[in-house]
Amino acid sequence: MGAWGAGLFANDTSCDVRDDYVRHLTHGLSAEEACQKILARYGDLLANTEIACLVYLALADTAWRYGRLDQALKDKALSLLQSGGDVDVWERDAPDDVASRRKTLQALEARLHTPQPPEKPIQVSPPQPKKIRTTAPVGTVFYLDLPLGGSALLVLVGFAELENSVDPVFSVLGQRFASPSEMPAQVTESDATLVLSKTSYQPYQHVAILPKDERKNILSGLVQTSIPVAGAMPYQRDRTVWLALGRIAKEIDAHMATEPARA
């Protein structure tokens, strides 16, 4: 979720949905095709009411503003809103912001009951080829040197398709290693991984590298290893936070500050 406020688009997921919808329209997809492509991306995650609210409500609001809201999407969004939306999540995670979130949802419900504006014209342009950040496969293990000493292992668990690039996404093992020679012979899917928190609202199971300079390889600060991974480690795209590599190292250090390097 990555929320920084109670507004409808004050979270990463809803912003992604809005931006993806508009991008799909500019690439020549119909409104229905744009919706289906976005919903397919989240798949089984939509069974989770929290994720469903973030996705469907953002999608319905954006489609309404572009004059392309169909009845099925409208009905789904209104059904979620009339069931309380995600207020229970905010009561659990951010009780001080519940009133603001409820006001946001009420405003959306009222808007969806009004006639949508005429279709907004879209200038269609073909998509540009995406930059492939790495050709390393899922299951590749890298290590990252940490400011407080030692190294951490980052396992490539999946890829996130963004507007201009396809980015590798990592899980970070919850151990500090004194040197590469002390790292394990293999990583298993049951190995503990760190949960990083960028905000108080959302824990992140995965991390991706925010590029400082698009001319440089974002993996240049990582060292690829030959350590194999036994089994498939879990990956949820919406549980990923993008941070600069230096910030990633500091976040890992902060989580493992009380743990000595494993030797």
pLDDT score of 4: 86
Kindly give the confidence (pLDDT) of every residue in the chain, 263 residues in length, as a single tens digit, with 9 standing for 90 and above: 458 899 999 998 999 999 999 999 999 999 999 999 999 988 888 999 999 999 999 999 999 999 999 999 999 999 999 999 999 999 998 999 999 999 999 999 999 999 999 999 999 998 788 899 999 999 999 999 999 999 999 999 999 988 789 999 999 999 999 998 999 999 998 899 998 865 434 678 999 999 988 888 999 999 999 999 998 889 988 889 999 999 999 999 988 875 444 44
Tens of pLDDT along 73-129? Answer: 999 999 999 999 999 999 998 999 999 999 999 999 999 999 999 999 999 998 788
213: tokens are 């300079």
DSSP state of 138: T
For 93, other C-beta atoms within 10 Å of its C-beta total: 18
Per 3-state DSSP, what percentage of the chain is helix, strand, and coil (rounded to 5)?
A: 40, 20, 45
Claim: this prediction has a pTM higher than 0.85: no
pLDDT score of 30: 96
6: tokens are 């109670």
CA 186 – CA 227 distance, rounded (Å) = 5
Q: How do the domains of the chain map onto residue ranges?
A: 12-112, 131-255
